[in-house]
């Protein structure tokens, strides 16, 4: 018996470093308020129907990519 795929449900995975997730949570929440790039991304994701914690996780990932880019390039 085939089960239907639940396409409307997304879950937050508990993969990766717990310490890194813990360290990035509050900076991501603050960035949702004050960082214009992350604020625009969060508004776009909410318009697509993502929930609050999912947008925070997306902001955490964006903060990581920004930090990695700054470290690789050496420019602020």
Angle between helical axes of 18-34 and 36-47 (0-180°, round to 10): 90
Mean pLDDT of 63-71: 94
Domain that holds residue 60: 18-73
Q: How confident is the model at residue 9 (pLDDT cuts 50, 70, 90)?
A: low
Residue 1 has pLDDT above 90, yes or no: no
Q: How many domains would you assign to the chain? A: 1
Question: Angle at Cα 63 formed by Cα 61 and Cα 21, nearest 5°?
Answer: 55
H or E stretch covering 36 = helix 36-47
Residue 26 has pLDDT above 60, yes or no: yes
Measured over the CA atoms of residue 62, residue 63, residue 66 and residue 69, the dihedral's sign is negative
Residue 9 lies in a domain: no
Residue 73 has pLDDT above 50, yes or no: yes
């Amino acid at each position: 018996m085939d089960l239907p795929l639940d396409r409307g449900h997304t879950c937050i995975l508990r993969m990766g470093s717990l310490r890194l997730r813990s360290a990035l949570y509050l900076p991501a929440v603050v960035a949702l308020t004050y960082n214009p790039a992350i604020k625009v991304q969060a508004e776009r994701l909410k318009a697509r129907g993502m929930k609050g914690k999912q947008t925070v996780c997306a902001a955490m990932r964006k903060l990581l990519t920004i930090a990695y880019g700054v470290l690789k390039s050496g420019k602020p």
